[in-house]
């Protein structure tokens, strides 16, 4: 059975595919996801219940989670937010927080994006 919002993604551009729950994809290439191997069996069961709903493929995962209250009384989106990670279009991983969004940097080749120092970037362009 194929569940909606479950994908295998090469998160780190290393040729390994990780099973993730896609919370949201942004048009600029950003991806917000939850790695399934970071969930325990209770959270996997909770997520399975949410993703098994009849209309789960009609809504984004963040919207499905927002509509659901877990048995412990907590909103599912608030609860699962602790597991959400983001990956920018340029491949940088981060924990989503207010005031932080990915910026599209397609004008620089990947080897220049990895350098943290300005001289590293200038050397790579020579």
Task: Compute the C-alpha angle 63/65/66, nearest 5°.
Answer: 65
Is 42 a domain residue?
A: yes
When pLDDT is cut at 50, 70 and 90, the band that residue 79 belongs to is: very high
Predicted TM-score (pTM) of the model is 0.77
Is 17 a domain residue?
A: yes
- How many domains are contained in the chain? 1
- Residue 76 · residue 50 · CB < 8 Å: yes
Q: Is the confidence at residue 9, as pLDDT, over 60?
A: yes
Using DSSP's 3-state secondary structure scheme, residue 19 falls into strand
Per-residue model confidence (pLDDT) at position 90: 84
When pLDDT is cut at 50, 70 and 90, the band that residue 107 belongs to is: low
- Residue 33: give the domain boundaries: 6-124
- Residue 35 · residue 85 · CB < 8 Å: yes
């Amino acid at each position: 059975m194929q569940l909606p919002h479950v994908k295998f993604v090469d998160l780190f551009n290393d040729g390994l595919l990780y099973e993730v729950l896609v919370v949201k994809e942004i048009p600029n290439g950003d991806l917000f996801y939850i790695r399934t191997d970071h969930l325990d069996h209770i959270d996997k069961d909770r997520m399975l219940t949410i993703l098994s709903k009849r209309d789960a493929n009609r809504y984004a995962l963040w919207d499905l989670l927002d509509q659901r209250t877990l048995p412990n009384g907590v909103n599912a989106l608030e609860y699962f937010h602790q597991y959400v990670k983001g990956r920018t279009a340029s491949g940088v991983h981060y924990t989503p927080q207010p005031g932080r969004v990915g910026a599209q940097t397609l004008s620089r080749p990947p080897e220049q994006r990895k350098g943290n120092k300005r001289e590293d970037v200038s050397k790579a362009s020579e």
